[in-house]
């Protein structure tokens, strides 16, 4: 990662700027209920069906598959899945912010253009950012509502790079799922950082000049 080349950082949200197993479980219960209604079976059986489907698709396609892909193959839609998430989930019940994240993003925001690109919907994104005290931390936020095309998606990535008006090598992508958040940007020539914990996210402090620390 060459600090001198980077001009913008594009962050994922869930699993990147916070980690919450209880909230992840609540999301899973919601999508399992939706799948159960689609299939006419109990939600626990539907959840197992989703797991098996995602595993099979991952093996066939060679990359990790999203809930959106699975729910569409079961006859559902991404907008309906996210309508249910927005209606049923209250992230403030589950998410505890790590106090290191906001200062890190504040410092990065002084030096780099800072964007958020998430597969989450606008309603939950706003609630999660409020939980994390990050509502003012990004120059631009892109949610699933903007395109209904979840990552990884080449057209979404192309639009992000076009709107930033920067060469790929100047845009750092940060996320917790390589196949979903980072594979396409890296193939495009962007630097990437895989972060599955907040400790790993804090590696970004190498981008902050020492006189700002």
Q: Is there a domain that residue 2 lies in?
A: no
pLDDT of residue 209: 78
pLDDT, mean of residues 169-176: 98
Residue after which a domain boundary falls, among 93, 121, 152? 93
Say yes or no: 38 and 101 in one domain: no
117-157: per-residue pLDDT in tens? 999 999 999 999 999 999 999 999 999 999 999 999 999 99
Which pTM does this prediction carry? 0.95
Q: What is the mean pLDDT of the chain?
A: 96
3-state SS class at 58 = helix
Say yes or no: 204 and 119 in one domain: yes
Residue after which a domain boundary falls, among 93, 112, 127? 93
List, in sequence order, every beta strand (DSSP E) within 4-163: 8-11, 113-117, 140-142
pLDDT of residue 170: 97
Q: Is there a domain that residue 139 lies in?
A: yes
pLDDT, mean of residues 204-213: 76
Cα–Cα dist 142/120, whole Å: 9
Say yes or no: 70 and 114 in one domain: no
User: What pLDDT band is residue 211 in, cutting at 50, 70 and 90?
Assistant: low
Q: Which residues contact 119 (CB under 8 A, 6 or more apart)?
A: 14, 66, 68, 144, 150, 151, 180
210 pLDDT above the threshold of 80: no
Say yes or no: 13 and 27 in one domain: no
Residue after which a domain boundary falls, among 69, 93, 117? 93
pLDDT of residue 3: 80
Q: Is there a domain that residue 157 lies in?
A: yes
Say yes or no: 108 and 191 in one domain: yes
213 pLDDT above the threshold of 90: no
52-92: per-residue pLDDT in tens? 999 999 999 999 999 999 999 999 999 999 999 999 999 99
Task: Judge residue 166's burial from the number of C-beta atoms within 10 Å of its C-beta, 0-12 exposed, 13-18 middle, 19 or more buried.
Answer: middle
Distance of CA 135 to the CA centre of its chain: 16
Q: Which range of residues forms the domain containing residue 63?
A: 21-93
29-58: per-residue pLDDT in tens? 999 999 999 999 999 999 999 999 999 999
Q: Is there a domain that residue 1 lies in?
A: no
Number of domains in the chain: 2
pLDDT of residue 86: 97
pLDDT, mean of residues 177-206: 97
């Amino acid at each position: 990662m060459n600090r001198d080349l980077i001009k913008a950082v594009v962050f994922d949200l869930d699993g990147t700027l916070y980690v919450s197993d209880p909230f992840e479980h609540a999301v899973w219960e919601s999508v399992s209920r939706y799948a159960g209604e689609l299939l006419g079976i109990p939600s626990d059986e539907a959840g197992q069906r989703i797991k098996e489907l995602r595993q099979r698709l991952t093996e066939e396609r060679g990359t990790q598959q999203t809930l959106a892909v699975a729910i569409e193959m079961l006859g559902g839609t991404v907008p309906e899945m996210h309508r249910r998430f927005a209606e049923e989930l209250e992230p403030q019940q589950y998410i505890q912010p790590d106090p290191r994240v906001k200062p890190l993003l504040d410092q990065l925001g002084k030096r780099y253009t800072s964007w958020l690109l998430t597969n989450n919907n606008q309603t939950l994104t706003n609630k999660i950012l409020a939980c994390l005290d990050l509502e003012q931390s990004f120059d631009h936020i892109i949610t699933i509502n903007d395109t209904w095309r979840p990552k990884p998606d080449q057209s979404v990535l192309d639009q992000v790079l076009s709107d930033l008006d920067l060469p790929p090598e100047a845009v750092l992508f940060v996320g917790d799922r390589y196949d979903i958040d980072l594979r396409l940007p890296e193939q495009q020539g962007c630097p990437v950082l895989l972060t599955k914990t907040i400790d790993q996210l804090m590696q970004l402090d190498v981008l902050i000049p020492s006189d700002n620390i």
